[in-house]
Every structure is written in C-alpha cells, then in structure tokens.
Amino acid sequence: MADHIVPTIALNNAVHIPQLGFGTFQIPPEDTKAAVTTALEAGYRHIDTAQMYGNEKQVGEAVRESGIPRSEFFVTSKLNNPFHAPADAVEAVSTSIDALDLGPLDLYLIHWPLPEVGDFVETWRALEGEHKAGKARAIGVSNFQQAHLERLLAETEVVPAVNQIEVHPYFQQSPLRAFNREHGIVTEAWAPLGQGAVLDDEVLAAVGSEVGRSVAQVTLRWHLQRGDVVFPKSSTPARAAENFALFDFALSDEQMSRVDALDADRRLGPNPDEFNRV
C-alpha cells in the first residue's frame, strides 16, 4: 500500500502532516523496531513517538533501515516532563534528534503543560528558538487546555501548529477542538480508539456491519472525517494494516451523527489541569 493515499493537512506554517500515522506509546523498545518496520510496510509514513516512551532510537533505526527516503516521513517527538526549564528543553531537543538520528524533527511538542511546574510559556519560548534554529520544522503542544493556549497566544510569537489531546467517541472534546480550529491549530486525537475502550461498542459495531468494516476502522474513519490527525497504536501486524485501510469507504452524515451521539465526557487519561508529575 502506498503512502500517497493518506491525505495531508497543511499546518499553520506550510508544513504538511499526513492525517494518519502510527502511534508508539507503550511499545517496549525491544519491540519497537519490528512494529515500526511492519507499519512502514503497511504504508504508514508518519510516526508519533516521545522521549517519555523510551523508543525514539528504535523508531529512528526502523525509518533509516527502511530504504525509503527521509523526505517521505513525518516524525514527531515530545519534550519529557522533567525538562521544562528552558535550558533543559533546548538540550532535550538535541537529545531526541540524536536518538532518532533522522536530522531535524518534523514536529516537536511540549508533552504536558504541567501548570504547577515551572512556566510552560518559558518552555515554549525555548522551543520557538529551536524552531527558528531549524531543529524542528514545526512545534506544537500536547494536552493543553484552552486557558493554557490562551497564554501562549497572548504572550508568545509562534502559534502552536498542533494540540495533541485525548479524543475518542466517548470523549469528543468539542469545545477545545473548536478553539484549536479557530486559531489555526490542528487537533491531533490521541487514544483514538479509547485505548481499546470503544471496541465493544454496539453502535460502532452496527455502523461497522452497515459498511462492512471493523469497529476500529469505523472509529478511525469518524476521526478522519471530522478533520483530526490520528495515529492508532498496534504492534499486531494485521491490526496495524487494518487501521491503515481507511480510504476506500466513507461514513454517511447519519452514521457520523450516531457516533457523535456516543459522547459521554469519559476521559481516560489524566486531567491536564491537575497533572503535574515530573
């Protein structure tokens, strides 16, 4: 399967991001190279990793050894929580670049705002400097609430290219997604399958039987049609391929509405206003 079937979205700085990627959270380093290699064979060219995941080195090895030109890839990494102090953040960018060994990063994110740890505005200014120095083609944030974004918009220069937040049918984040959109910030939906929580849903199963697709495919297609970027994780080759086969069917408006109606304000991960663990 070819990468060109994945649509790209223009970020606010002319960089384009493939709308579908491969997530690597909780893939142990010893399994990462094989999982990413399988994903590349299935057609994925966008990989989401983070220093916190401990597998950047193995992501880089899989990409480098694939024989596919670097220019065809989009690789994201994220600032680990202990390194929010500006000098530490600058060093952390280089640490990620060295671990991946793929040249400049395509996208680099503040992983969590940690509102009671240091000052994320100062951290963001450090990343602005690294962006201007060419270390990352785009910079963005993750798990930022509206109030956190409002501070960046008021006090800094570069508007984040993306906000990577928890979004799935049971936690749809409509107000924050709308705020992102109004400010030209692309929403990336982490845990697009609710880390597996949505897979037994009867409504999703019913829609799946109407379109002849699995619950995972219906859910991922719903995200794509809403305009978000997704990178489901699976180290099972057949599932990684299943999650990539999203471009030869579509959900009707009525089917989209039935998934919209599943919203239950059910957050699975930490609340970013309260999460301050370093």
Closer to ligand NAD by CB, 39 or 154: give it. Answer: 39
- DSSP secondary structure code for residue 90 in this structure: H
Single out the residue of 28, 175, 184, 196 in contact with ligand NAD (rule: CB under 6 A): 196
- The least distance separating ligand NAD from the CB of residue 206, rounded to whole angstroms, comes to 17
Please, which residues have CB within 8 angstroms of residue 42's CB and are 6 or more apart in sequence?
Answer: 1, 237, 240, 241, 244
Please, which residues have CB within 8 angstroms of residue 74's CB and are 6 or more apart in sequence?
Answer: 17, 18, 21, 45, 46, 47, 106, 107
- The least distance separating ligand NAD from the CB of residue 9, rounded to whole angstroms, comes to 17
Beta-bridge partner residues of 22: 47
Query: Is residue 102 within 8 Å of 135, Cβ to Cβ?
Result: no
**Secondary-structure breakdown of the chain: helix, strand, coil percentages, each rounded to the nearest 5:** 45, 15, 40
Closer to ligand NAD by CB, 180 or 243: give it. Answer: 243
Using rule CB under 6 A, residue 190 touches ligand NAD: yes
Closer to ligand NAD by CB, 254 or 274: give it. Answer: 274
Stretch that binds ligand NAD, among 19-27, 100-108, 175-183, 256-264 (CB under 6 A): 19-27
Task: Please give the Cα distance from 277 to 196 (Å, whole number).
Answer: 25
- The least distance separating ligand NAD from the CB of residue 75, rounded to whole angstroms, comes to 12
Single out the residue of 140, 169, 194, 208 in contact with ligand NAD (rule: CB under 6 A): 194
Helix axis angle, 215-226 to 202-211, nearest 10°: 90
Single out the residue of 3, 6, 17, 23 in contact with ligand NAD (rule: CB under 6 A): 23
Q: Between residue 51 and residue 110, which ones bind ligand NAD under the rule CB under 6 A?
A: none
CA 166 to chain centre: 9
Q: How many residues bind ligand NAD (CB under 6 A)?
A: 25
Task: Please give the Cα distance from 274 to 98 (Å, whole number).
Answer: 32
108 is catalytic: no
Q: Between residue 130 and residue 169, which ones bind ligand NAD under the rule CB under 6 A?
A: 142-143, 164
Strands 162-166 and 74-79: unpaired
Closer to ligand NAD by CB, 146 or 157: give it. Answer: 146
Contact code string over 222-241 relative to ligand NAD, x by CB under 6 A? ---------xxxx----x--
- DSSP secondary structure code for residue 271 in this structure: -
Residues making contact with ligand NAD (CB under 6 A): 23-25, 48, 111, 142-143, 164, 190-196, 199, 216, 231-234, 239, 242-243, 269
Catalytic residues: 53
